[in-house]
Chains A and B, each alone.
Chain A
Amino acid sequence: MAMPPAGTTTRFIMLITLVMAGGLFTFYELYFLVPGNWDHFISVFSRCFADPRISVPDPDDFERARRLLAVCQAPAFYDKVAWIGWGFLLLTAVAALLYGMHPVWIRRRGGLRPYVRDEDNAEVLGYLDALRSRMGLARAPAWFVAPRSIRTGGGQAFGLPWRRCVRLDAGLIMLYTRDRALFRTVVLHELAHLRNRDVDKTYLTIAIWWSFVAVVAVPLLGLVGYAALPGPTVTRDAMWSELVPYMVDRPHNVGQALVVAVLVYLVRNAILRVRELHADAVGTAYDEPVPAADPGPPDPGPPGRGAAVRWSWPRFGLGTHPAPEWRAAVRRRPELLWRPTLWELAGVGVVAGLLGNSLDLLVRGLFLDAFGKLNTFGGEAAVGAVLGPPLTAFLVVSLWRAAAGDTGHRIRWWHCLVQPPVLALGVLAGLALPLLIHSFNTTPYALASSRVWWGDLGILVTAGVPLVLGGVLVAWWFRSATRGTPSAVHARWSMVAAATAVFPWFLAWYVSLAADGPSSGANPAIGCWLGGPVSGDPAGFFWTLGCAQAFPVLNLVELNPVTLPGLALLWLVPSIAALRGRAPGRGRASWRRAPLVGAAGGVIVIAAGVALPHWARAAVPEAVRHDLGAEGANFDLAYWRAYLMIAVLAQAAVALVTAGAARRDRPGLALLAASVTAVVATAGQIGSYTVARCVDLMETRPSRCLPEVVASRLAADLHTVTLYGLLAVIPAVPIGVLAGTLWRRRSRPPGPSAEGQADPRPPVPAGAVIGCLVVVTVTAAVLVIPIAWLNWARWGAG
């Protein structure tokens, strides 16, 4: 089985992200604690408001005053951005310097001596070189002796890329004679660090930590203390000491920086621990086999399902080295290395949340100060777009690692149910951190906003439901798409597919956190039932789809050029794997059948769409049908929603039938079938509206009985039909799975799977159907770009 990315990669990215989040937040907030910055900021705004066109705007042209103010105040924002940039440059430079100096530091601190060849050590050096060769290292490291380490038998790998070094304790060299096996284990462990390329990651990690302390934490404390000095000491501006509490939330800053510092430290140690375990595993692989009589320490990880995801605080500890019993277990069962821990999942979530907070600060400043826009969701949308795909990719990698660490190399169902909620809880905790710190804050800034923070926290809690649900769906899809045993290629493509598909949804979810009222993520269930019948519709048939109004943020998904390609990837990746696979029983028949089922569903929609005008003409009074300009919903809109509802129900039915009939790849198959239905139904609305015109359903005068085709309108409609269809497909699939399972159990005894038998000759080549669908999807995505652009401009206008 191909191995997934190691936990180190995740943790290292987490560390960098955390430092970025903490640094960004701190540098941004500390800007005003430097008197020079403060003076510059005040001078810019004083100059701006000295302009009467800004300070006394024309009541008929506020927009002009807003534009002028934006242009005038932009230098203040860019000065702040430059300040942040210099902060990160310094952070990077200090980290690079510390990393570059680490060999000198280690040599000086340990009083290391080069282990040069003489008549006494020729044999040992020869043996060391043999071990190096066995480990597969082409280039020999420089060996050093720690002569004062006479009571320990350890080693240490270090050095820069062009000169790797290994430190050997004096006590270790003595073990060459006294305990050759232990000597070999330690040396192979250190050589494994070189083979695993751990040195750079590890010492960069240490360097980043110290750089964070030196450039972020210490200056923060220093400047906070400095700002507490009497005003004249700090700046000429007499107002500074009075205004700065409103500009800089100092207790909040210190609290958040402390939390980030603790997290950075914990992540740093987590990186060091996992590298030790990897080196143990590799070192053991190249070592001589342990005698069977040596049982070794007890195995800490039960091999069964319960051990696949661990809360393993006591075992792992929080230090730089893992617990001995855990190391012993990994030596015997290296697959344990791949198992993700729930702490890691939660930690990644917290880091993502913190990064979201920090980026929010920056982009809000960008929109407010540089673009002069108030009440815009553009910033949140940008941050949501940045956070969603990496979080999804991490979840997929985590599931992949869970499979690699599983005794059967499978993704178990409980992985899909446990990992997403933990990750989501971490995200929510990270997002909520500023709110929690505010609750302990007594500054005027915090007191002014204390009325709302409980409400913000409430939104986070309720918004967690769709986040968890989305995560579980992604996990379930990944498990299905990879048949539970992901290969490297398959897993990577699945990761791309999932990240692309989640992109618009996470973006909308993130925006909903900042939105109030019905657009908030806190009100999903209520909104769907708020829709009522169209005014004047006595039959009550043409109900509005209330969700459309209750979830304005869904508009960001509906008119998004990534939405359809993302969904298409969700069925394309598993379908290619199934259709190109040569092994029997890969379910090719299901993938050939699904488009046909979908097409049948689409044909039913077309038939219903043709019948709909006649039925509406009979059921709805003419006055209502011709009410095209009244306030609120008019009949044209109601007619479209009725057609949309038919298409949605058809997609749900198709998904239900497909999922119920299949035994594997159910989410992908259901999505494929529903996508075909959506495409056919969207095309079918041309016929429905043509018939409606033929029978004068809405028009007050006879119209031409000809179809009207506007490509961009069709593309947008396909997005709408697919989006709302998906909302129905999601619950339909598990219902179909359940119904199919029950039906198979009752109707016939278990026999060989139909998918394991020879595939019947398909009436239509599956590849051709899928290819056509891909073309339609891409075309629709391209055609919807202009409409989406207008939509985005509306959301970003403020």
Chain B
Amino acid sequence: MLGKLQRDGSSQKQVLLVSILFMGLGHIIYFKDYVKGLLFMVVEVAGIACIPLFFGKVYNLITLGSPQPDLPIKLRANSMFMLVDGILTLGVAALFITMYIISIKGALQEYQDYCTHGEVKRTTAKTLISEKAFPIAGLTPALVLLLFFVLVPLIFSACVAFTNYSAPSHIPPNNTVDWVGFDNFKDMFGGNAAWSSAFGRVAIWTLVWAVLATATCYIGGMIMAVVLHESKIRIKPLFRGIFILPYAVPAVVSMLVWKNLLNGSFGIVNRTLMEIGFIDGPIPWLSDLWLARVVCVLVNLWAGFPYFMLLIMGNLTAISSDVYEAAKIDGASKFFTFRKITAPLVLFQTMPLIIMSFTHNINNFGAIYFLTGGFPKVSDSTVTSAGGTDILVTWIYNLTMTLNKYHYASVLAVVIFVVMAPFAILTFKNTKSYKEGEV
């Protein structure tokens, strides 16, 4: 059979055809590469054996089950299981197709070798272990696990955005769930007055919150670090220790404590202020919409600046004192040195961390949920469950935990992902420290 192949490359089509016909067939009949060929054939046979299962699962994925009101609940089709099974099945199918392509490419590669060398290197048990196959085999389990434990859940939650998985009439196993296309996105982006106005409000506040929270923490941290570094305070470690304390306390605890301290009517802050005659009536720290938002940023500053302070203090020690000395000799003022030397150098090194902090703040569940709990309520809260200080991620929590509107929650999650992922990657790649590879 080997003799039938032309060495001028004209038999490529033949090899291709036979390889497509059955996985590994080309390896066996043309190149007598039995080990590899048989392995591929086993994969193909397993694949064929799974075809009925495959089509059943994909059919379920497409229909997500039909309503069976006459059956007892535990016998009814569960749309969510069908969705997960369907996605898993497609994942397995994708792996299978990848194998197929690898086998065809492998056969063509061997033919190429045959054309140039007149013979092929056959796979034996020895080469299988010592050469290319080994690292591939070693990495495959990790890759497969990554696929199924990272990718499948992500795809699953994104898929929910295109279904009507919501209370009260589309919660499995009682009822089935159906695909609704882009209806949920339409509702969120203008189709439904209450939902789209809530979405606009919450999305804008989320961005404003993330920018302010990151900026205040960073600037606050930098001021503290520079002051501690430059000033002639005697017991620096003591002050440093005190400033780090807010960071050392679990954020959840401190947020809950702040919530109680700032309670407008019963909190100790207002009571003290009123006791000493500073104010006449209580200040609505958390019950006035705008003041509550300001308080969110300020309390987050209190809890978040120590992180950046520590970070920047580390960076400051790395800046050579020669630079400062030169500036001093040239007669630069303290502020001018800070503006021209300290700030640019520190910013350069911490840019990736600022971006990380920004993305973290967009999803900063704890700072909002435990401080205000979304309060104060606004007019559309009754329908959408989004309070005045809720950010997207706490709204997602409300939608899933109290309203059981998984479809809208999933739309929000998709929106966050679509906006955040490219933004984060692009900005991160554009930072100098990433480009230069080392700092």
Does A pair with B?
no
